Amino acid sequence: MADKVKLHPETPHQKRIFRIADDLRSGNIILLPTDTQYALACSYTSKKGIERIRMIRQLRNDHLLTLICDSLTGISKFARMGDDQFKVIKKLIPGPYTFVLPATKEVPRLLLNPKRQTIGFRVPDYPICQNLVEQLGDPLIATTARHPDYEGTEGNGTEDRKELFRRFEKQVDLIVDNEQPLPGEPSTIVDMSREDPVVIRAGKGYDKFLEVCAVADLNPVEA
Residue-wise pLDDT tens digits, 25-39: 999 999 999 999 999
Does the model's pTM come out above 0.75? yes
Confidence of residue 115 (pLDDT cuts 50, 70, 90): confident
Asked whether residue 190 carries a pLDDT value surpassing 70, the answer given is yes
What pLDDT shows up at residue 149? 62
Domain ranges of the chain: 3-218
Q: What is the pLDDT of residues 54-99, one digit of tens each?
A: 999 999 888 888 999 999 999 999 999 999 999 999 999 999 999 9
| Helix and strand totals (H; E) in the chain | 7, 11
User: How many angstroms separate the Cα of 163 from the Cα of each of 8, 134, 139, 172?
Assistant: 20, 30, 28, 14
Q: What is the pLDDT of residues 142-154, one digit of tens each?
A: 999 987 665 554 4
CATH number (3.40.50.10490, 3.90.870.10, 1.50.10.10, 3.30.56.10) of 3-218 reads: 3.90.870.10
Going by the DSSP 8-state scheme, the letter that residue 171 receives in this structure is: T
137-150 CB burial, b ≥16 within 10 A, e <16: ebbbbbbbbbbeee
Mean pLDDT taken over the chain: 92
Confidence of residue 183 (pLDDT cuts 50, 70, 90): confident
CB neighbourhood size of 180 (10 A): 11
